[in-house]
Structure 1
Amino acid sequence: MTKDLTSGNPLKVILFFTLPLMLGNLFQQFYSLADTIIVGRFVGVDALAAVGSTGSVNYLILGFVIGMCNGFAIPIAQLFGAHDDSDMRRHVANAAWLCVGWGLLLTVATVLLTRPIMQLMQTPADIIDDAALYIGWIFAGIPFVFLYNMVASIMRALGDSKTPLYFLLLTSVLNIALDLLLILAFHMGVTGAAVATDVSQAISGVLSFLYLKKKFPILHVSAEERRFDTSACRRLSSIGLPMGLQCTITAVGSVVMQGAVNLLGSGAVAAVTAAGKTQNLLTCPLESIGTAMATYAGQNLGAARLDRVRSGVLSAHLMVVVYSLGSLLFLHFFDVAIVGMFIDTDVEVQIVEMACSYMFWNSLFFIPLGALIVWRYTIQGLGYSTLAMMAGVAEMAARTGVAIVLVPVLGFFGAELSNPAAWVAACVFLYPAYRWTLVHLENRLHAGRLAMR
């Protein structure tokens, strides 16, 4: 079930490793879309706005969880590439200990603070009750988010990007079925959407964990390897925490922007929700290329093959450009039809126009977005997650500046410019950071070879 990414044509290796990741991310977005579509079409625009108003704070917390799990997997990928199986299993076991601790802490803290957070974000009064109810139930499922994402990250670190896809497919089907049951049959509204997400994630997480134990004999951990190890936890945390914080720092800017959009009214919130869900779907392939690059870079660093890292990055950029141009063309013809999945286009004409305009301005900058994703994940895979985290600071600063300066002056058009500004700011930081990282690692490897001689 494992796969070595340290040999073969880089473009082919990355492409075939990315495809299952892309399909998995798409299915993950599909069950998120299911919440939005079913709520928007069958509960109402206000309920859609309520769910959408939680998006940035949802990413603030769950992005930290997912980023941290991905970070924990990088030392595992490096040790797998170096064929140090015992130390790899020790890091897997200690990653589990860290996930348990963080899962309990975050669940209690976020559930208790849900409504104060939504009040701090100036959520409109007509949707704040539903918004707090929805995100509170989502946060209650944090332990299962940890469980699934840690298992999936370990599988990917060992070169298996296909199996997580199957469990995401299961999650998507379960989530949609439960959405329909709880919202249409039991009339549970936004609560039904959140509970459906929690239950589907729990089932997928438990089943994927049982599969990992049975099908990956390389991960059969001994009693010695299972013990809590301070040095392993320190190494895992040195990469995992900055990757989690990078997502959180980026999300802070999104939270500030969401507050600015909230002041424009629930119609603007609904437009950004519909456009944002579509954008998340379209950018899944870009995120998948990035996730593949983290594993690819980690394994090749473990094998001391930085030449393959360079060629892999060039191949990934080629994939980004081709896909981004295709996405721009697709939106040109189908933007209204896509928004129509969430909103009645015959009734909410102004909201539809706002959503289409938002998607257009964001899609123009998909190439810079893809570039920053490739550079960021490559830097993380090479072990410099703190450096990659600083790009999140650049994104946060750009979004905050737009929210404070441009939105009050330009209104909704100012909100449309927030993501492009953040992506360009991150690229300005990440390109020299990527170049420095490779030079620094090449010098270290060269010094190591001289010392051995």
Structure 2
Amino acid sequence: MKQQEMDLIHGPLSSNIWRMAIPLALTGLMQQFFNAADIAMVGRFVDAQSMAAVGSNAPLITTLLSLFIGLSIGTNVVLARFIGQGREDKVNDGVHTSLVMAFLCGLVLAGIGEIATRPTLLWLKTPPEVFSIAELYLRILFIEQPFLLLYNFEASIFRAIGDTRTPLLALSLGGVCKIALNLIILLLFHGGAGGVAIGSIIANIISSLFLFRHLHRSHTMFHVSFRRLKMHGDIVLRILKIGLPAGLQGIVFCLSNMIIQSALNSLGPTVMAASAAGYNIEIFVYYMMYAMAQVNTTVVGQNYGAREFSRCRKATRICFKQTAILSLILTAIILFFSDPLLSLFSTSPDVVEYGKIRLHYVVCFLWLNAILDIYAGSLRGYGNSLIPALITLIGICSVRITWVYIIFPLYPTMKTLMLCYPASWVVTNVVLAGVYHLYIQRLGK
């Protein structure tokens, strides 16, 4: 683990950012690849209704996860700042606190999910023909939440020292096991959507225990001792200060997406399946761009803790430039290969055509969302997580809700609905960019 640490306070910024971002982007890609594999295998080996049921659950799962994933961002920022300050004792306290928080939050999430599954699917107007499949899939999937959150918090611990390769290795190991299990369950035992969910549980257990073993065997300040596994009140408050607004921002983001999903459901199973396929391609692009924002948060957090303010601003500028290059390349690739990519999920011509609508109206404008993420990530690195959360609440949520309930009923097509994404990103970016630059000026560093 010591060999994977990176000097983000004194080392060259541009090359170190790339070295961190590439494994982090690959982690996001790998995570989405394994999620997309679930939908693709269900679509190929079961039926379109099961594919629609599994795919339409993504917004609900992401929404319930968002609050707790936000807390893992708090872990990243808090540990990065302690590292920048050279406070090894507080780093170790933070590691133990984070692990206990992760597992307890996972248990809470699992309980909430089991209670909320049926009423939420009813609220989303899930079609009767896929309702029972969606409910079974969700109920099984919520069992994995303690281990999924444990992996995410552990990954945040590794990212705080600049190590983004070990979490990638852990995810790859779990993901390969997941695909193998899914094929066995679907082809030999005809397990359907429920069987795919079981494969996800086992994969997350493998990934989280792999990282835990690395932390336990480490001889650095990140060493985990079973006897020291407890929550320290001051660390919890620091994590909540950063992570809670970030989590609430994620919830607002996802709630607006659930409203969009509800509108999509009203267009029928074919559009649902197409949107699920398009989303699982689109999200690959998003996570590659989002990697830069995550790295930016860590670099800003460490350098802000070390009082290296000029390096904080420089890191943000570098992330903007590198994201611009990345977005041009990725967008061109996705648009050029849209037909064969969508055909991986379904052989239905209608599903492919509707899926292309999502790619054309959303992927082409994902760079707007990348700008938003970098601004928000910078502010979190400085220790201010409330500002981007409030701006997201006002910008993203208000625009999308207005669009779905006022504009979409006038022109109830998939094209109309997809336009709400770039519209909300433009409004939010205008406000957030102004606030960010004002905040930097008032910081006076």
Bucket of the pairwise TM-score, normalised by the shorter protein: over 0.9
Cα distance in 2 for residues equivalent to 1:396 and 1:56: 14
Aligned in 2, Cα 1:66/1:216: closer, same or farther, shift over 3 Å? farther
Specify the alignment match of 2:203 in structure 1.
200
Residues 79 and 302 in structure 1, CA contact (< 8 A), matched pair in contact too: yes
Residues 71 and 239 in structure 2, CA contact (< 8 A), matched pair in contact too: no
Aligned in 2, Cα 1:116/1:324: closer, same or farther, shift over 3 Å? same
Aligned in 2, Cα 1:173/1:216: closer, same or farther, shift over 3 Å? farther
Cα distance in 1 for residues equivalent to 2:356 and 2:224: 51
- In structure 2, what residue type is equivalent to 1:353? E
Query: 1:22-33 counterparts in 2 under 5 A?
Result: 22-33=25-36
Specify the alignment match of 1:405 in structure 2.
406
- In structure 1, what residue type is equivalent to 2:406? V
Query: 1:306-317 counterparts in 2 under 5 A?
Result: 306-317=309-320
Cα distance in 2 for residues equivalent to 1:199 and 1:17: 28
Question: Is residue 328 of structure 2 the alignment partner of residue 325 of structure 1?
Answer: yes
Specify the alignment match of 1:215 in structure 2.
218
Cα distance in 1 for residues equivalent to 2:259 and 2:392: 14
SS in 1 for 2:408: helix
Cα distance in 1 for residues equivalent to 2:415 and 2:238: 44
Specify the alignment match of 2:134 in structure 1.
131
Which of 103, 116, 120 does residue 119 from structure 2 map onto? 116
Question: Is residue 248 of structure 2 the alignment partner of residue 265 of structure 1?
Answer: no
Size of the aligned set, in residue pairs, is 440
Question: Is residue 423 of structure 2 the alignment partner of residue 428 of structure 1?
Answer: no
Q: Which moved more, 1:18-27 or 1:91-100?
A: 91-100
Deviation at 1:66, TM superposition (A): 2.0
Which of 434, 441, 444 does residue 442 from structure 1 map onto? 444
SS in 1 for 2:129: coil
Q: TM-score scaled to structure 2, two decimals? A: 0.95
Which of 295, 298, 309 does residue 295 from structure 1 map onto? 298
Deviation at 1:221, TM superposition (A): 6.0
Cα distance in 1 for residues equivalent to 2:220 and 2:228: 14
Which of 55, 60, 72 does residue 58 from structure 2 map onto? 55
Which of 225, 236, 255 does residue 258 from structure 2 map onto? 255
Aligned in 2, Cα 1:37/1:323: closer, same or farther, shift over 3 Å? same
Residues 71 and 244 in structure 1, CA contact (< 8 A), matched pair in contact too: no
Aligned in 2, Cα 1:242/1:12: closer, same or farther, shift over 3 Å? same
Specify the alignment match of 1:182 in structure 2.
185
Specify the alignment match of 1:447 in structure 2.
none
State the Cα deviation string for residues 22-76 of structure 1 (Å, max 9, x = none).
1111111111011011011111111111011111111101232222212222111
Specify the alignment match of 1:449 in structure 2.
none
Specify the alignment match of 1:164 in structure 2.
167
Deviation at 1:93, TM superposition (A): 2.0
- In structure 2, what residue type is equivalent to 1:363? V
Report runs of 4+ in structure 1 exceeding 3 Å deviation.
220-228, 440-443
- In structure 2, what residue type is equivalent to 1:392? T
Specify the alignment match of 1:446 in structure 2.
none
Q: TM-score scaled to structure 1, two decimals? A: 0.93
Cα distance in 2 for residues equivalent to 1:252 and 1:265: 21
State the Cα deviation string for residues 230-268 of structure 1 (Å, max 9, x = none).
222111111111111111111010011111111111111
Cα distance in 2 for residues equivalent to 1:178 and 1:398: 42
Identity %: 28
Cα distance in 2 for residues equivalent to 1:41 and 1:226: 44
Specify the alignment match of 1:44 in structure 2.
47
Aligned in 2, Cα 1:92/1:44: closer, same or farther, shift over 3 Å? same
Cα distance in 2 for residues equivalent to 1:99 and 1:326: 36
Question: Is residue 355 of structure 2 the alignment partner of residue 352 of structure 1?
Answer: no
Cα distance in 1 for residues equivalent to 2:149 and 2:54: 22
State the Cα deviation string for residues 61-96 of structure 1 (Å, max 9, x = none).
123222221222211110011111111212222223
Aligned in 2, Cα 1:306/1:43: closer, same or farther, shift over 3 Å? same
Q: Which moved more, 1:423-432 or 1:238-247?
A: 423-432
Cα distance in 2 for residues equivalent to 1:301 and 1:225: 28
Q: Which moved more, 1:213-222 or 1:113-122?
A: 213-222
Query: 1:145-160 counterparts in 2 under 5 A?
Result: 145-160=148-163
Aligned in 2, Cα 1:55/1:351: closer, same or farther, shift over 3 Å? same
Cα distance in 1 for residues equivalent to 2:208 and 2:225: 23
CA RMSD, Structure 1 to Structure 2 (Å): 1.7
